[in-house]
Amino acid sequence: MTAFRQLITAVTVSGLLACSAGENNVERGNREGILYFGNGTEPQTIDPHVLTGSPEGNLASALFEPLIARNPYTLEIEPGVAERWEFNADRSVITFYLNPEARWSNGDPVTAQDFVWSWQRALNPKIGNQVADVVFYHIRNAEAYHLGRIDDPDAIGVQALDAHTLRVALEYSNPFALLKFTYVYLAPVHRATIEAHGAPTDRFSPWTRPVNFVGNGPFTLDEWKMQRFVKVKRNPYYWDRDNVALNGIVFRPIESSTTEEKMFRSGQLHTALNPPNSKIPDYRAQSETPLVEGPFMGIYYYMMNMEHPPLDNGRVRRAMALSIDRETLARSVLQDTVTAWSSYVPFGMPDYEHTHILDFDPEAARRLLAEAGYPGGAGFPALTLKYNTAENHRSVAIAVQQMWKQHLNIDVQIANEEWRVYLDSLDQHNYDIARMGWVADIYPGSFLDTMISTGGTNRTGFANAEYDRIILEDLRATPDKDAQMQLYQRAERIFLEETPLIPIYAYKTKRLVQPSLQGMPANAGDMLNYKYVVLDADAPAWKWQTPADNRQAAN
């Protein structure tokens, strides 16, 4: 961090802390119904057909609504824009019946044709949708159109039968099909607004500015100050507005977890999504802790650029994976805020038998490295491990760097980049090794489907014909859930044997929540549904308790 940035950060934090002398954000937000939300980093976009990151998803979920929603407590599906749906006899077609009261934030009705046009836009190859394979390919001809095998968007299996009836033909019978329609990536966008501000397939255009924005979610865009905040306010036309308790949300892009934690502790945030690991034991020791913890479906990993020697050698990749002591990392560096994990499909996946072939084994790692031509690390070329700017990512990178030196005698440099620059580096394959995380749904395909050779988020160069056949052919011909699980297990083993990425740990929910904030529970999908969020106007901001305070509370 430069001296200038350090000065700006110090001034910003001191100014925020100074506000606590009067009414702080939490107290004012409780009274006004405004949620102050620590959101990690500056969003790259709010376009649901372009975004891929969690900060963007957190924001877009307030501004857009897909066909189906999820209950944050049970993860059961609930009506979104669609008030009901039904399958045909062989479950190859779903008919969605849209709520006739669904409206855009400018008052226009949300129609079935809006979904047809939006999904055709999302699948247009020109827009560069990187998650299309995960969320759309179960729809008939979606893959063919997205990959340019056909050029007629009307061939995609989505049809508006009338203004409020949407028919979706599936490419194959999928026991998890309905889950995909809950994703914000499948939310509709407002055609007239997009076309008024550029081409429909422009990845970044003025339609996402507050003065131009039109969405269909419970909130609409109010104000956006780069690197400061994004404000959203209630959408007065939202069909279920009577069940939205909040009047607005202020999303704060705070890359420094230390700064975010200080802002939470001083009453400037209702929730901090990524408190520094060094503070976790202290928060656990609080008698009335604001720390919320629990497992969820997410995996943290290091991508290996298989186009860059020596990472084009599978023995090198496997050696680097086997030389990471994940248990020590989880316990000592990350304060047991994660689960040490060496598989790609996360810990806790129901009805799934995980593959563990990359567990810590330094002797095997040294043997593989020698077989690859680098005995004792001799002659190993310079590599760089990149991560996006955040203290926790840096801590993990330093620990892994030391493990590679200790167990393999290789030197790997580490480097950080701001989020937007970092994503561009990954998209352009401008990296050797790079950290990434994937948070998805409670079925293995939401992880493994992404790594096909044509996968938009497969930035490693991994391509395996057998793996592709299992994902793209065998699974689609297998409607039985148990049989699908066995196929996914085969696919994961192939994937881990080739080691295009190194799983490091499975995520756990680790957030700070003010006592006034209700409706944001830990859940296995790390799902947010802002309609459930309520602020207690009478609750005070949380106060740090000294050891004496804790003893008094215990008595």
On whether the CB atoms of residues 59 and 39 are closer than 8 A, the answer is: yes
Q: Which residue type sits at 138? A: H
- Per-residue pLDDT, 451: 95
- Per-residue pLDDT, 9: 36
Residue range(s) of every CATH 3.10.105.10 domain in the chain: 295-508
Segment 81-99, tens digit of pLDDT? 999 999 999 999 999 999 9
- Per-residue pLDDT, 547: 58
Token pair belonging to 364: 């095997």
- Domain 3-43+222-293+510-554 grouped into CATH 3.40.190.10: yes
Measured distance CA(427)–CA(552) in Å, rounded: 54
Residue range(s) of every CATH 3.90.76.10 domain in the chain: 54-207
In 89-218, which ranges are E strands? Answer: 93-98, 158-162, 165-169
Length of the chain measured in residues: 555
Measured distance CA(463)–CA(454) in Å, rounded: 8
Residue range(s) of every CATH 3.40.190.10 domain in the chain: 3-43+222-293+510-554
Token pair belonging to 340: 């040490």
Q: What fold, for 54-207?
A: Dipeptide-binding Protein; domain 1 (3.90.76)
Question: How many alpha carbons fall within 13 Å on the CB side of residue 382?
Answer: 3
The CATH number given to 295-508 is: 3.10.105.10
The low-confidence residues of the chain, meaning pLDDT below 50, are: 1-20, 548, 551-555
On whether the CB atoms of residues 301 and 317 are closer than 8 A, the answer is: no
